Amino acid sequence: DAGITQSPRHKVTETGTPVTLRCHQTENHRYMYWYRQDPGHGLRLIHYSYGVKDTDKGEVSDGYSVSRSKTEDFLLTLESATSSQTSVYFCAISGPPLATANYEQYFGPGTRLTVT
């Protein structure tokens, strides 16, 4: 999985609780992404980062926040989890440190989150 790990791999949580998912890379890639994958919707971008402390919203960012304090780590936080956030979450990385063009994205193994 191109030097990408996600933790936890599985989590069950209750509605209203905060949840943080972690993505860690060892590739020194510039860009990091969080997606969710749901049947009938495919992969949808939640947030992405183009450098340390530089992040931007994706298509489905409501209810999620992110932080990137180090090149290798990108955290996704659900401030107050809802049942609609039950999904499989994938992290992806892309691009060398000084990337100025589009590059392929490499995906982690995913985190299956269930909100009850």
Is there binding between residue 13 and other proteins (CB under 8 A)?
no
Q: Which is nearer to other proteins, 78 or 108 (by Cβ)? A: 108
The full 3-state SS of 8-24, as one line of letters, equals CCEEEECCCCCEEEEEE
Choosing from 25, 55, 85, 94, the residue that interacts with other proteins (CB under 8 A) is 94
Q: Would you call the peptide bond into 8 cis, given omega within 30 degrees of 0 as the criterion?
A: yes
Residues 21-50 that bind other proteins (CB under 8 A): 31, 33, 37-45, 48, 50
Q: Smallest gap, in angstroms, from Cβ of residue 86 to other proteins?
A: 8
φ, ψ of residue 85 to 5 degrees: the values are -95, 5
Stretch that binds other proteins, among 15-23, 60-68, 71-79, 91-99 (CB under 8 A): 91-99
CA dist., res. 26 & res. 28, Å (int): 6
Q: Is the dihedral of CA 21, 25, 31, 33 positive or negative?
A: negative
Residues that bind other proteins (CB under 8 A): 1, 31, 33, 37-45, 48, 50, 58-59, 88, 90, 94-95, 99, 102-110, 112, 114
